[in-house]
Amino acid sequence: MNEHEKLKEWIPFYAAGTLSEEERARVAQHLRQCPDCRAELSLWQGVSQEIRASDQTIRAPELRQVPVRKSARHLWKAWYILRSQVALIRTEIWLSSALVSVLGIIVALLMETVNAVYFLAPFISAAGVAYIYGMQNDPALELTLATPVSAQQILMARLALVFGYNILLTFSSSLLILFIHGQVAQFSWAVLLDWMAPMAFLSSLALFCSLLWGSVNAVMVAYSLWVIKGIMPELEFSGRYAAGFVSLTNLLGKFASPSHLLFLSLLLFVLAMWFTGKKQVRLLA
């Protein structure tokens, strides 16, 4: 790794002011001669100011004794954290989710069934969520720790943004297909829950696994489960592995009801939050 590549990775920490005196001087020296790194720095300074500014905006009413209800202030803070995170989420997530959704619409129209969209939705969502918080290579984490916003709030904000975006994509895709086929009357809350539950489950599973084993492995785990669940009943097995596959399918089938899946999603979400908090404490210590 050359000097530029190495120092470029330090820039978020430089912006957050968490480098040692010696490292700071080295970055400052390099910044004078590298326009690329200067651009990177101004990006991170913008982000850092955004997060700090959001905190000041929340404190300002207190100083002026303006009676702002506590809940309103919480909402205000949540809004600012959400807004600051939009820029920090990998841009590929928005684009690839949208592209795969378009693919889903095309397949659904060709197959004349909206189920193609429902089958693809958990894949898209799990892949996006697995990449919102890579512990090893997330420079924003150090920045986060230098501000009053906790890692858990950041994680929750990114999850809400990416998961919400995917819900919206799937919802609009399925409505479009039902509309084209003249079946809008088929839409119901039960159907909505039917596709949202596996999406929530695989997304929270991917999130949890990404914190433990990294994004790529998390995607593999979530995809394998969904493929097994989707394809297994269609296949016929013979030989000594058949019994194992059948019992696995049965096990997955038992958890396939929306309420079970939503409960498991909540559990995985809570575990992910707990794990993030624990990791942050360890990093700060």
Determine the interface stretch with Zn ion among 29-37, 55-63, 99-107, 217-225 (rule: CB under 5 A). Answer: 29-37
Q: Which is nearer to Zn ion, 32 or 64 (CB)?
A: 32
| 271 lines the binding site for Zn ion (CB under 5 A) | no
Q: Between residues 9 and 112, which has the closer beta carbon with respect to Zn ion?
A: 9
Q: Which residue is nearest to Zn ion (CB)?
A: 34
- The amino acid occupying position 181 is H
Q: Which residue, 37 or 93, is less far from Zn ion as judged by CB?
A: 37
Query: What string marks each residue from 183 to 222 as x (binds Zn ion by CB under 5 A) or -?
Result: ----------------------------------------
Residue with tokens 């929270």: 204
* Closest distance of CB 11 from Zn ion, Å: 9
Looking at 16-24, 27-35, 200-208, 234-242, which segment touches Zn ion (CB under 5 A)?
A: 27-35
* 37 binds Zn ion, rule: CB under 5 A: yes
Block residue for tokens 């378009």:
102
Our CB check for Zn ion shows the closer of 37 and 199 to be 37
State the nearest-atom distance from the C-beta of 48 to Zn ion, in Å: 19
Q: 164, 86 in Cβ contact below 8 A?
A: no
* Sequence-distant (≥ 6) Cβ neighbours of residue 105 within 8 angstroms: 117, 173, 176, 177
Q: Does 228 bind Zn ion (CB under 5 A)?
A: no
**Residue selected from 18, 34, 135, 279 as contacting Zn ion according to rule CB under 5 A:** 34
Could you give the 3-state DSSP secondary structure of residue 224? helix
Q: How far apart (Å, rounded) are the C-alpha atoms in residues 62 and 272?
A: 33
Query: Closest Cα to residue 90, out of 24, 22, 137?
Result: 137
Round to whole Å and give the CA distance between 112 and 117: 11
State in angstroms the smallest separation of the CB of 33 from Zn ion.
8
- Is 4 a binding residue for Zn ion by CB under 5 A? The answer is yes
Please, what is the minimum distance in Å from the beta carbon of residue 5 to Zn ion?
A: 8
Task: Give the interface segment with Zn ion, choosing from 3-11, 70-78, 131-139, 227-235 (CB under 5 A).
Answer: 3-11
Smaller CB distance to Zn ion: residue 1 or 284?
1
Kindly tell me the sign of the dihedral angle through the C-alpha atoms of 255, 259, 265, 271: negative
Count other C-beta atoms under 10 Å from residue 59's C-beta.
11
Residue with Cβ nearer Zn ion (40 or 101): 40
List C-alpha distances in Å: 250 to 162, 194, 219, 241.
31, 18, 23, 14
What DSSP assignment string belongs to 259-271?
A: HHHHHHHHHHHHH
Of 32-40, 93-101, 164-172, 227-235, the window that binds Zn ion (rule: CB under 5 A) is: 32-40
Query: What's the rounded Cα separation, in Å, for the pair 47 and 80?
Result: 12
Q: Which residues bind Zn ion (CB under 5 A)?
A: 4, 34, 37
